[in-house]
Structure 1
Amino acid sequence: MKFSMKMTKMTSPPVVLVAGLLTIIAIGTLLLMLPAASHSGHSLYWVDALFTATSAACVTGLVVVDVNTTFTIFGEIVIMILMQLGGLGFMTMATLFALVLGRRLSLKDRLLLKEAINADSMEGIVRIIRKVMIFSFTIEGIAAVILALRWMADMPVGQALYYGLFHSVSLFNNGGFDLFGNSFIQYRGDWLFNLTASVLVISGGLGFIVLSDLFDFRRRRRLSLHSKLVLSVTGGLIALGTLVIFVFEFTNMRTLGALNLEEKLYSAVFQSVSTRSSGTSTIDITGLRQATQFFIMLLMFIGASPGSTGGGIKTTTFIIMMGAIIAMVRGRKDIVFFNYRVPKVMLMKALTIIIISLFIFILVLMLLLMTEDVQFLPLAFEAASAIGTVGLSVGVTPYLTDIGKLIISATMFIGRIGPLTIAYALRPRTDKQLYRYPEGHITIG
């Protein structure tokens, strides 16, 4: 009996998801250390290989080496595959292969999928995954063609096709990697690139449940409460981010100040979208004013939506806590969105995620302040970018010590898996509590 219980614990969905991502990172590290992956013909330093593999598999985009000048096409393809696996999730990709081979999914497989995409139940889980895969690969394919056609004017056809595919995968999966060396600064005034890239980032950050809802909208003519909240909050945060970046940086000659009005608007929108978790940029992040950097940190901490290719505490966690604050100020007992009451257990879960994430952020920042000779705000920015799996950087990451790189690597891993999933994976097995203690009263405030 004890053996059976132990096996159940070791094969629980959170443990399998953690172990699966660790396995992907380990394989990616070994592949990037191969001499064939580097232009130098020598093995990449293991810490740098581990950091790059973790950043790609956790779809972050922080780098310690320049991707284009360091890695061969083989190394870049490894990074692209890691981003695809990390973005859609290894269980989702495994389901795709199982469906192609005609294999039926077991109950355990469905439980893992439910955990992987943050679904409420297993009902229709395979159908959701099938639709999401079709939706994802279709968007990536169309965007790859559009980007390739745009870049054919700037580079050979073969290179344009390769760049289109790589950056389509990177942007949709919120991977943050680019092959230009300075992100997409040279395309800040290009409306076609800005539109295509923004659609990719937003689509990847909405989450599998929302994508499935949108896929069925023409037939059902309605959206779930979750989808309504995600779309509303995502739109609101992008609009707020655009306004703040546009106003704060309007006269900053290192960012928006030297641009014309059209380029200012494009850059403000793209940078706001990028904070959802994509990590790419069309302006110099190091040149941003401190107030803007701090605001971007807040947006990175919120991140994308549940079950998406992005990280952060998630948009629904943020809006539930905002709803709780509004309800408390108005003297109401319930949190209500679109005429639906949010269960108290959701508020407890949201509060837990925020507190754990803040604790991890503070702990990581304190460790970095001990190991790195860098000022507070730049280190805080890198830590927020790592835990939100965003990938925006103020230029600190390449100069971190080995210990600092390992700390950031662990932070990216926790940010991708999710602090609550990590906690579930590590918690001891407890029996169901059959009693409740009497209610007590505590003075607050």
Structure 2
Amino acid sequence: MRILKKRRALNPAEILVFGFGGMILIGAILLCLPIASTSGKSVGFLTALFSSTSAICVTGLSVIEIGTAYTLFGQFVMLILIQLGGIGFMTATSMVYMLLGRRITLKDRLVIRDSLNESNLQGVVRMTRNVLIVTLIAEVAGMLLLSIRFIPQYGISTGIYYSLFHSVSAFCNAGFDILGFGNSMVSYANDPLVLGTIMALIVVGGLGFFVVVELYRKATLGRKYHFTLHTKIVLVATVVLLVAGFLFFLAMESGNPKTLGAPGVSAGDQALGAAFQSVTTRTAGFAAIPQADLTPASKIGTVALMFIGASPSGTGGGIKTTTALLLLALIITVVRGKQDVVIAKRRINKQLVMRAITIITLAMLSVAVVTVLISVFEQHHMSVSDILYEVTSAFGTVGLSCGITASLSPISKVLIMLTMFGGRVGFFTVSLALAKRMSRQQSCNYRYPEDKVMIG
């Protein structure tokens, strides 16, 4: 007698993982086609897979110069992958459902809720529409502003295309450029229009769609509307990190003759470069100054900012600003001898604080392990500091590099790809799993005896 086994339904976290993985594989196959390469030959599956992974994970690291190595077809594939990676797998799927008039089921809503980092199902579909609207408005506005500079330089058709590509890349915090210079935005280091537009797109994309929508409601309703605690934390953390980063890089690099201290660089250009470096470390990946020439202190500061990253439900990566602020609040609570973590006169759930600590610990361990492994494989021609910079950039889905990406061995490239995927998807699903496990633990009707151990 045949025994039919019931197939287990995928949970939302698994759907997200397989969804992102499937998009990466499809993108790699398309980029591997000869039509995608300017040489007329395939770039190779590993190179195509690396590009596809970096695009879907909106990282920006690349083993080839996509502006010269890929044809218009290949660049368009990259653009679509960046856009899908930025708005998310389920948001893109929901958009297709809406266009086809298909009903979004309860299971679809659960996955959308998790992909947007929402806590309840109410208004999930409306939030998805808001994501699409915010994305469209921001990217079109960015394209129009960049066109002011790119159309006179490259002509109408190429200028509009360049404006569109870089607007999408900036809003999605991807950091890819197709200018073909091989130095990202260094050629526009003294151009306030280009750098200012890209910075604005990076910040809006990194704030998170939920926060952007709340900012819009606040602007329209005025005093009648009050920010949620989440939005307050994100705004405060973002402003503090951006200002602190600007002052830090301005102090560290203004005397560096290879970056902001180079002859002929005005005080205004120095300020612009420091501001851009502070913004782009928030998981964007564009560079206005050569990253390999940064001072050791600036590299350490950049690593720290890349590790923190952007904010939840946005297009950036990292451990997120809210997670970092929860850890800081916990430290202050312990030092002051208090019991509850309190932010803005609101007590934070202890389970949420435990999740934050776990995510930070797992992230640090992952970055450390991958750094050690790549150091073993590349020990003869790469410094540990450059490798740590690269790994942290991959984890935070940033894309900044000291120029070692193309020189990595195949096994190291695979490790970087896994780190990018983990930074974009893995730790988010870990967070979901922890939330579900902790909610089940709360329903238990027994607890073990309490005991003590010596620490410190």
> Which TM class, normalised by the smaller chain length?
over 0.9
**Residue 186 of structure 1: CA displacement?**
1.6
SS of structure 2 residue aligned to 1:152: helix
**Residue 120 of structure 1: CA displacement?**
1.3
Moved more, 431-440 or 316-325: 431-440
**Compared CA separation, residues 196 and 114, structure 1 to 2 (3 A):** same
CA contact (8 A) 1:58 1:86 kept: yes
Match of 1:251 in 2: 255
Match of 2:208 in 1: 207
**Residue 425 of structure 1: CA displacement?**
6.6
Match of 2:234 in 1: 230
CA distance in 2, matches of 1:418, 1:137: 27
**Residue 423 of structure 1: CA displacement?**
7.3
Q: Which amino acid aligns with 2:95?
A: L
**Residue 366 of structure 1: CA displacement?**
1.2
**Residue 185 of structure 1: CA displacement?**
1.1
Match of 1:75 in 2: 74
Q: Deviations over 1:300-350 (max 9, x none)?
A: 000001111110000000000000111111122122211111110111000
**Compared CA separation, residues 418 and 207, structure 1 to 2 (3 A):** farther
Unmatched segments (≥5 aa) in structure 2: none
CA contact (8 A) 1:205 1:308 kept: yes
Q: Which amino acid aligns with 2:412?
A: G
Match of 1:372 in 2: 378
TM-score by length of 1: 0.96
Match of 1:394 in 2: 402
CA contact (8 A) 1:15 1:425 kept: no
**Residue 443 of structure 1: CA displacement?**
2.7
CA distance in 1, matches of 2:391, 2:249: 21
**Residue 192 of structure 1: CA displacement?**
1.4
Matched, 1:96 2:104: no
**Residue 189 of structure 1: CA displacement?**
1.5
**Residue 98 of structure 1: CA displacement?**
1.3
Match of 1:385 in 2: 393
Match of 2:323 in 1: 317
Q: Deviations over 1:245-287 (max 9, x none)?
A: 0001111010000211000000100110001110001111111
SS of structure 2 residue aligned to 1:7: coil
Match of 2:127 in 1: 128
- Aligned pair partner of 2:350 in 338, 344, 349: 344
Unmatched segments (≥5 aa) in structure 1: none
**Compared CA separation, residues 434 and 426, structure 1 to 2 (3 A):** closer
Matched, 1:328 2:334: yes
Aligned residues: CA RMSD: 1.9
**Residue 100 of structure 1: CA displacement?**
2.2
Q: Which amino acid aligns with 1:210?
A: V
CA distance in 2, matches of 1:170, 1:240: 25
**Residue 7 of structure 1: CA displacement?**
1.2
Q: Deviations over 1:173-192 (max 9, x none)?
A: 00110012211112122111
Match of 1:221 in 2: 225
CA distance in 2, matches of 1:135, 1:7: 36
CA distance in 2, matches of 1:208, 1:442: 43
**Compared CA separation, residues 232 and 423, structure 1 to 2 (3 A):** closer
CA distance in 2, matches of 1:426, 1:121: 17
TM-score by length of 2: 0.93
CA contact (8 A) 1:132 1:211 kept: no
Q: Which amino acid aligns with 1:437?
A: Y
Q: Would you say how many aligned residue pairs link Structure 1 and Structure 2?
A: 441
SS of structure 1 residue aligned to 2:51: helix
SS of structure 2 residue aligned to 1:393: coil
Q: Deviations over 1:187-234 (max 9, x none)?
A: 122111122111100011011221221232223522111011001101
**Compared CA separation, residues 426 and 409, structure 1 to 2 (3 A):** farther
- Aligned pair partner of 1:360 in 345, 366, 377: 366
Match of 2:268 in 1: 262
CA distance in 2, matches of 1:43, 1:425: 39
CA contact (8 A) 2:393 2:401 kept: yes
CA contact (8 A) 1:18 1:422 kept: no
CA contact (8 A) 1:249 1:257 kept: yes
SS of structure 2 residue aligned to 1:153: helix
**Compared CA separation, residues 171 and 119, structure 1 to 2 (3 A):** same
Matched, 1:419 2:413: no
**Residue 377 of structure 1: CA displacement?**
0.2
CA distance in 1, matches of 2:445, 2:162: 58
Q: Which amino acid aligns with 2:345?
A: N
- Aligned pair partner of 1:435 in 446, 451, 454: 446
CA contact (8 A) 2:367 2:395 kept: yes
Q: Deviations over 1:372-423 (max 9, x none)?
A: 1311100000000000000000011110001111110010000000425147
**Residue 428 of structure 1: CA displacement?**
12
**Residue 444 of structure 1: CA displacement?**
2.4
Match of 2:117 in 1: 118
CA distance in 2, matches of 1:186, 1:90: 34
SS of structure 1 residue aligned to 2:63: coil
Matched, 1:273 2:267: no
**Compared CA separation, residues 74 and 352, structure 1 to 2 (3 A):** same
Match of 2:245 in 1: 241
Match of 1:64 in 2: 63
CA contact (8 A) 2:355 2:435 kept: no
Report % sequence identity. 41
**Compared CA separation, residues 426 and 25, structure 1 to 2 (3 A):** farther
CA contact (8 A) 2:134 2:209 kept: no
**Compared CA separation, residues 195 and 55, structure 1 to 2 (3 A):** same
SS of structure 1 residue aligned to 2:347: strand
